[in-house]
Structure 1
């Protein structure tokens, strides 16, 4: 959903195992001007269960957007990205990698697997919050997200 549609908040799935980074993302969206519904899962396996609406996530809403860390327990972020972008019912969901890695091979692989952007987490908390706010401005005010709902 887009904010201008009047249909409700933008559903964002944050896939992040670091509690400090989760808090910073939550704080950044609280400071933002858009209505967002931020849901958090802490590992790659839970992310896939959530996105496929299986198990405890059977009634979870399909997110409008995914923020994905790479270094995750159980299933790493690249494997999550690969599965999302390989699945016709999920591939239109924008996925932005938000990670601590600046490794060229990670950046290249992320784009090879069709991530929509690759962002490196700043170490400074204020810079981290500003990065998320800039992300919010671009993706939810300037860019057009694909229509909500499942795709074929």
Structure 2
């Protein structure tokens, strides 16, 4: 995403905690970027959304923020389902950032084994959310070239 005002980015936030959703939305809203955020409250809904959009890759989100501790299908199970779909190469390049409170070494290792692009710890206060979102947006939307930019 460049500084062009016509540029926009779509984020899929996979999060069941309403407070975290609110904090992340507020932090993204403070940025000078056109970012829309879709929320899936569990892994099953997130997978359904992604597979529904897979027929039109340009409709996939530019970035997924994934909590591991979500109902129905947890974050690691979702990563595994996406990883299995990667054989079809539809979701292969989808940038996925794990954003969770888990500090488990096993969760970190398994997330990266399942092709997560980063593993981030959730902040403990509002200022921390602002800093995290600013860093994510700066890297993923201002500096990195996303696979959806080529579509």
TM-score bin (small chain): 0.7 to 0.9
TM, length-normalised to structure 2: 0.87
Structure 1: gaps of 5 or more residues: 55-60
Tell me what 1:119 maps to. 120
Residue correspondences, number = 145
Tell me what 1:58 maps to. none
Which whole-Å CA distance do the structure 2 matches of 1:46 and 1:149 have between them?
27
Determine whether 1:65 maps to 2:66.
Answer: no
* Higher share in helix: 2
After TM superposition, list the pairs within 5 Å mapping 1:1-152 onto structure 2.
Answer: 2-3=1-2, 8-53=7-52, 61-87=59-85, 88-148=89-149
Residue 85 (structure 1) shift: 2.7
TM, length-normalised to structure 1: 0.87
Which whole-Å CA distance do the structure 2 matches of 1:3 and 1:79 have between them?
33
Which whole-Å CA distance do the structure 1 matches of 2:2 and 2:24 have between them?
19
SS of structure 2 residue aligned to 1:52? helix
Which whole-Å CA distance do the structure 1 matches of 2:5 and 2:123 have between them?
33
Which whole-Å CA distance do the structure 2 matches of 1:149 and 1:15 have between them?
24
Structure 2: gaps of 5 or more residues: 54-58
